[in-house]
Structure 1
Amino acid sequence: MATVLVPTVRWERWVDNFVASHGPTPLVVMEDALRGQAEDGSHFSARLPFDTAYAGPAEAGAFGAAAETPAQWGVLLVRKGGFAVARMAGVAMVEHKIGQRHVQGRTKAGGQSQQRFARRRDNQARQAYEAAADHAARIVGGVRTVVTGGDHTAVEAVLADARLATLAVVGPWLAVPDPRRAVLDRAILDAQAILVDVANA
């Protein structure tokens, strides 16, 4: 089973290509998703972005048309090496901030030296997360919906800030490297894509 992110504008073509490769594929709506089961045993399950439930007709076109981008939403990406946060109005970026922080890597030294490095690394990471939370509170603090990614522990540390308590985190989770502008731009596109779990027989 593989997971792919399909932009909504390419969705119907993706389904057509799946049918061309695997044969007739009846579609059904099940558990808020659109599912297809091909004659050769291959199958897929597609979910709308932003955890939107689907209850429309079992048709690729109708499903793709139901993929809507919220009027106001945000993206929050955090890793130990940095963060990126953006506030969106539909598909347009309204404001963003990208920050890099140095967090010391692990050391091979042992004993007290290793403990000292570990404390320094933890302090650096905490300061990086606090900086990310400050910018997140300023940029997306008033937004309801946010898509997150990066490192789970880092994101959870930032979201623990009381100023971000009203944020509703929705899927998909975005596995990204240390955030840079190109990474943020890609994440914004991926957040709006249809999430497809596909198994090829």
Structure 2
Amino acid sequence: MNPAQRTALVPPARLLGWVDRFAASHRGLAATTDTDDGVMLAMRDGATALLTPPWPDDGRPGRGAGLMDRVVSLAAQERRLGLVLVRRGGFAVGVAVGGKLLAHKVGTAGARSRGADAGAAVVQRAAGEAAKVFSGQGFEYVATGGDKALVESVLATPALGAVAQQSRLAPLAVTDPNMAVLQKAAGDFCSVRITITDPVGS
């Protein structure tokens, strides 16, 4: 049987506390290893937690004496993000820094849209509003979530050609986008992604 895996998103300010609690619940920390995918924490009961910062160091590595300090420092850097969340029921776009929205627009496909038309309508509206929100707003990464095909269709529109060429963060699974979902996503994209593998037989 393959070990069960799950994912958690933890803000950098809470990461050290999360690691302490995780270690305490798994009989203590056995090893800490720096890998290409992030920092791997191995527990004494066989559980592991892979800590992946929200962005690469890009020449701005985290500072600190130890691996954990550097992960927290890197994740806490304020990077400017362009957010594009799309599902068939609606869209949310915005620009954020440090988990705070600087500009945004939330909308729906329209009450008259059905089926495939709803998908096409939401792509058209999302692309148009994203172009307005992103106009004059520089950012380092594109952060996406929702329906992958619809997101790609939005980014493929001519109005967003330059945006589509920018580096992307790992996408998020989101419910139908609204203001609350957009605000939460702005924070989640700045969080450390933790891939937890439970001990075999647990």
**TM class, shorter-chain normalised?**
0.7 to 0.9
Matched AA of 2:49: F
1:125 aligns with 2:119: yes
Match of 2:38 in 1: 33
How far off is 1:192 after superposition? Answer: 0.7
Q: CA RMSD in A?
A: 2.4
Higher helix residue share: 1
Match of 2:23 among 15, 19, 26: 19
CA shift in 2, pair 1:70/1:24, >3 Å: closer
Q: How many angstroms apart in 2 are the aligned matches of 1:184 and 1:65?
A: 24
Q: How many angstroms apart in 2 are the aligned matches of 1:199 and 1:17?
A: 15
Match of 1:114 in 2: none
Match of 1:92 in 2: 100
Match of 1:49 in 2: 54
CA shift in 2, pair 1:25/1:104, >3 Å: farther
Question: Contact 1:76/1:149 (CA < 8 Å) preserved in 2?
Answer: yes
Unaligned runs of 5+ in 1: 106-119
Unaligned runs of 5+ in 2: none
Provide runs of 4+ in structure 1 moved above 6 Å.
Answer: 53-57
Q: How many angstroms apart in 2 are the aligned matches of 1:79 and 1:103?
A: 15
Question: Contact 2:146/2:175 (CA < 8 Å) preserved in 1?
Answer: yes
Per-residue deviation, residues 131-163 of structure 1 (Å, max 9, x unmatched): 100111121254341210011111011011123
Matched AA of 1:85: V
CA shift in 2, pair 1:55/1:182, >3 Å: closer
Matched AA of 1:198: I
CA shift in 2, pair 1:146/1:82, >3 Å: same
Aligned length: 187
Match of 1:188 in 2: 186
Match of 2:162 among 163, 166, 169: 166
Match of 2:132 in 1: 138
How far off is 1:91 after superposition? Answer: 3.6
Matched AA of 2:190: Q
Matched AA of 1:75: L
What SS class does the counterpart of residue 71 from structure 2 fall into?
helix
Question: Contact 1:49/1:195 (CA < 8 Å) preserved in 2?
Answer: yes
Q: How many angstroms apart in 2 are the aligned matches of 1:179 and 1:4?
A: 20
Matched AA of 1:88: A
CA shift in 2, pair 1:104/1:69, >3 Å: farther
Q: How many angstroms apart in 2 are the aligned matches of 1:129 and 1:14?
A: 38
Match of 2:150 in 1: 154
Q: How many angstroms apart in 1 are the aligned matches of 2:98 and 2:9?
A: 19
